[in-house]
Amino acid sequence: MFTKPIHIKLFFLAVLIAALLLPLFISDAYMFQVVIMSILFAIATCAMNLIIGFTGQASLAHGAFFGIGAYGVAILTKAGVSFWLALPAAAVMAVLIGLPVGLISLRTRGHYFAIVTLCFGVIMWIVAGNWIELTGGENGIFGIAPPGDILVPLIGRIDFSSQAAQYYLALAFLLLTLWALYRIVYSVFGLTFMAVRNNEALADAVGINTFTTKLISFEAANFIAALAGGLYAIVIGAVSPSAAGYGLTFNFLIYLILGGIATLSGSVIGAFAIPILMESLQFLQDYQLLIFGALLVVVIIYFPMGFVGGLRRLNQIIADRRRRKKSEAVHVSG
């Protein structure tokens, strides 16, 4: 039902091959770290896309659940728990904390829901900065060890202390996230998300439990965001309150808007393009925000569906012109 054309499949295959070979062409350790961070931000942005883009609920607590995942992994691994157990435990923790938040906030609609979730995000940021016994306060938690070595059949033992191994670990989680979201969104159940987004009253009238649908989407987004946060903790090796700050939520939102809301590829493109662009413009440090703001305004006005939406529009224009020329040629020859 949702089969993609062969040329699109070939394009995604080419992108996958390029991603697998990318470590061979990046020699600068700092830029390699930026790329790894962009992958983690892409995972979190994909999760935000599920609740905002596909379900139409403006959750502004995303950075808080990213931080719950980061702090969860940091606290558990410092206590001696294996990363491979700490990561899913931290994600489940985010789901459990998010449950009462969702049960309360999802009973509101529109900007009221956004305000309630934003308040929760601010509360989590304050807790992270002041619960010194648990989070380390403003100093955060440092010395987070990378995942332990694992033995993979046909590959051998993998040491995750290297940047290349961390890159492939983050890439594997990104691919898993995209696959899971694709299976969810482009399914019969996923259509209920979009039905709620397009017309919640109509969806409720035809028998869809809109509250349950929104809660499932909210919790799934929280789970994935926490996974990204847990990976962030071991890649950076430290966690501070900024990892749970509401500013991070707005960064994810900007990546989503510029990349393309309600498109899986848009989340990835935005999360890669913006951080790398900002790093490339370091020599314009005093004007970065001005350039960034101007870019955001242009995209919102002229490309409301983001970069991916702009490409789709361009592709449609080219297809229409080809169809028109073909029709004119047939008319002339007739």
pLDDT tens column, 199-222: 999 999 999 999 999 999 999 999
- Residue 120 is predicted with a pLDDT of 96
Task: Give the whole-angstrom CA distance, residue 65 versus residue 98.
Answer: 8
User: Taking a C-beta distance cutoff of 8 angstroms, is the pair 121, 64 a contact?
Assistant: yes
> What is the H or E stretch that residue 169 is in?
helix 163-185
User: Taking a C-beta distance cutoff of 8 angstroms, is the pair 238, 143 a contact?
Assistant: yes
157: left (phi over 0), alpha (psi -120 to 50) or beta: beta
Q: Both tokens of residue 185?
A: 């969104």
- Residue 111 is predicted with a pLDDT of 85
Domain boundaries, the chain: 29-288
CA-wise closest residue to 225 among 80, 83, 73: 73
Q: What is the chain's length?
A: 334
CB-count exposure of residue 223 (10 Å: 0-12, 13-18, 19+): buried
**Is the CA virtual torsion 228, 234, 237, 241 positive or negative?**
positive
> What is the H or E stretch that residue 155 is in?
none
The CATH fold of domain 29-288: ABC transporter involved in vitamin B12 uptake, BtuC (1.10.3470)
The set of residues, in sequence order, having a beta carbon less than 8 Å from that of 31 and lying 6+ positions away, is: 279
- Number of Cβ within a 10 Å radius of residue 38: 22
pLDDT tens for the chain, residues 1 to 334: 445 555 567 777 888 898 999 998 888 899 899 999 999 999 999 999 999 999 999 999 999 999 999 999 999 999 999 999 999 999 999 999 999 999 999 998 878 999 999 999 999 999 999 999 999 999 999 999 888 777 666 666 777 888 999 999 999 999 999 999 999 998 888 899 999 999 999 999 999 999 999 999 999 999 999 999 999 999 999 999 999 988 899 999 989 988 988 888 888 999 998 888 888 777 776 776 677 778 778 877 777 778 887 777 777 788 778 888 777 776 666 5
For residue 157, give the 3-state DSSP assignment: strand
- Number of Cβ within a 10 Å radius of residue 150: 14
Q: Where are the beta strands (DSSP E) in 34-182?
A: 141-142, 150-152, 156-158
Q: Both tokens of residue 124?
A: 């989590």
